[in-house]
Amino acid sequence: MLSVLVVSQDPEFLDCVSHALQCEGMWAVSSQDATREMAETGFRPRAIVVDPAVLLAPGGDELVRYLSDSPSAVIPVFSISSAAKRVELAELLDALRRLEEGGEHAYG
């Protein structure tokens, strides 16, 4: 089962994306503070889905820095806006399915 961390400041976005991932049989953990979630719990997702607004918000660079400094820094990060259309969500799910299957170009 693919574990995915979903990060956004928008609770509706967190619910929507997490629900879509769970419907696909993936394990979704939602958080408004990914750095804290991973540092305090030791959770290491196989992929991260992040709302770009998080990266643009004050302190958003902490997530990038944490991932860069992490010993398991090879975690694919997918960015999808909370304003995303259904097509973009479908493309995200397709990329995550390929990642779960171990495809050579899972998220390329």
- The domain segmentation of the chain, as residue ranges, is 3-101
* Distances in whole angstroms, Cα of residue 24 to Cα of each of 2, 13, 47, 90: 10, 17, 15, 11
- In our burial notation (b when 16+ CB lie closer than 10 A, e otherwise), range 32-48 reads eebbebbeeeeeebbbb
Separation of alpha carbons 103 and 9, rounded Å: 31
Residue range 7-46, pLDDT digits in tens: 888 888 889 899 999 999 999 888 877 777 777 777 788 8
Separation of alpha carbons 70 and 59, rounded Å: 17
* pLDDT score recorded for residue 73: 55
The CATH superfamily of 3-101 is Response regulator (3.40.50.2300)
Residue range 37-80, pLDDT digits in tens: 777 777 788 888 888 887 777 777 777 777 666 665 577 888 88
